[in-house]
Amino acid sequence: MSDLVRALQHTEWSFFTLNITSSYQSWGLGHLDRDTDEIARCLRYIKEYKTTKFGDGKIVLMGHSTGSQHVMHYLSQPNPHTSHPIFDPELRHMKRPAVDGAIMQAPVSDREAMLLVLEGGIGHNSPSKCRAVYEKMLSMAKEAARHDQTYDDLLPLSLTSQIYPANTPISARRFLSLVSPDSPHMPSEDDLFSSDLPDEQLAKTFGMIQERGLLRNKLMVLYSGADQSVPDWVDKPKLLSRWRRAVDHDGKAQIWDEKHTTIIPNASHALSNDDQAEPRRILVEKVKGFLGV
């Protein structure tokens, strides 16, 4: 983010970071409807604030990792949302404002990332240990979701810390949504970017952007070429091509930004390590090109 802020400092663009209920270590407690409702509130505030001071302008929504799920959910789902989760009774859906552009950076499948953990282990835990912990969490989460629709139970930290960052709270419903045990044929809400999702499913997400009318211009995707969360078997160029066809309805629409969308060579998931200066430079140049600066 600091690289982007410096790059845009002498342009007419402002850079806002949104802190929502599920930010930072609370990502395991949220759900996409609430997240995108809160993002919509932030965008309304920003739009009103900027318009008051500088006149009418443009807004581009950019999401990293889970933020990419937010971008896709924001653009592709009914406006306002139609779900009424019993476990989140205070949720009041609002009409989401349209944006002038959208960027998904490092969109990855949480389900496929979990498969990596189950096949290779993580930290000091062997694949067999991870598999045992995963199966226990899956059983507990399914039971909790069946038992009482009024609440969203927390999974034990003693289990979640074995395969997720330590002391990160994760609810039963969020866990089921992330690992999506019935995919690829019945994917959960968070399973948006898995490489094995059928075209029929992509049509319900990527393919709905045009119909919802919440994106006035283009969608750009910046995929990390060396993302640690993406298995080796994922054909990244093929995956992006499938997403493009779904978004543009096989060339009938012009939503996908072919010029700036790219797989950034050697880019890690977060592009934050010392060896990531060149991938960050490419990312910044792509964003500047997308914004026209």
State phi, psi for 59 to the nearest 5 degrees: -130, 130
The pLDDT tens digits of the residues spanning 129-143 come to 999 999 999 999 999
Helix 127-147 × helix 172-179 angle, to 10°: 120
Instruction: Report how far residue 215's alpha carbon sits from residue 162's, in angstroms, rounded to the nearest whole number.
Output: 40
How confident is the model over 20-31, as a mean pLDDT?
93
Residue 154's beta-bridge partner residues?
A: 171
Determine the pLDDT at residue 242. Answer: 98
pLDDT band at 20 (very low <50, low <70, confident <90, very high): very high
CA dist 239 → 20, 152, 184, 195, 197 (Å): 30, 33, 15, 6, 10
> Do 80 and 209 form a contact (C-beta atoms < 8 A)?
no
Percent of all residues in the chain with a pLDDT value above 70, rounded to a whole number:
100
pLDDT band at 151 (very low <50, low <70, confident <90, very high): confident
The pLDDT tens digits of the residues spanning 164-209 come to 999 999 999 999 999 999 999 999 999 999 999 999 999 999 999 9
Mean pLDDT over all residues of the chain? 96
Determine the pLDDT at residue 147. Answer: 82
Determine the pLDDT at residue 211. Answer: 97
Higher-confidence residue of 132 and 87: namely: 132
Which CATH topology does 2-109+192-291 take?
Answer: Rossmann fold (3.40.50)
How confident is the model over 91-118, as a mean pLDDT?
97
Instruction: Report how far residue 74's alpha carbon sits from residue 70's, in angstroms, rounded to the nearest whole number.
Output: 6
Instruction: Report how far residue 290's alpha carbon sits from residue 257's, in angstroms, rounded to the nearest whole number.
Output: 8
Determine the pLDDT at residue 112. Answer: 98
Region of 17 on the Ramachandran plot (φ > 0 left; ψ -120 to 50 alpha; else beta): beta
Residues in the chain: 293
My answer on whether omega of the bond before 279 falls inside 30° of 0, hence cis, is: no
Among 83-92, 187-196, 251-260, name the one with the lowest average pLDDT.
83-92
Determine the pLDDT at residue 270. Answer: 95
* pLDDT of 148 strictly over 80: no
pLDDT band at 17 (very low <50, low <70, confident <90, very high): very high
- What are the domain boundaries of the chain? 2-109+192-291, 112-179
Helix 32-54 × helix 66-76 angle, to 10°: 80
202-207: which pairs have CB atoms within 8 A and are 24 or more residues apart? 202/242, 202/243, 202/246, 203/246, 204/76, 205/72, 205/76, 205/246, 206/72, 206/76, 206/243, 206/246, 206/247, 207/76, 207/246, 207/247, 207/249
> Do 129 and 121 form a contact (C-beta atoms < 8 A)?
yes
Determine the pLDDT at residue 275. Answer: 95
Determine the pLDDT at residue 149. Answer: 80
Instruction: Report how far residue 173's alpha carbon sits from residue 23's, in angstroms, rounded to the nearest whole number.
Output: 17
Helix (H, G, I), strand (E, B) or coil at 67: helix
How large is the C-alpha radius of gyration of the chain? 19
The pLDDT tens digits of the residues spanning 36-65 come to 999 999 999 999 999 999 999 999 999 999
> Do 271 and 225 form a contact (C-beta atoms < 8 A)?
no
> Do 121 and 61 form a contact (C-beta atoms < 8 A)?
no
Neighbours of 143 (CB within 10 A): 11
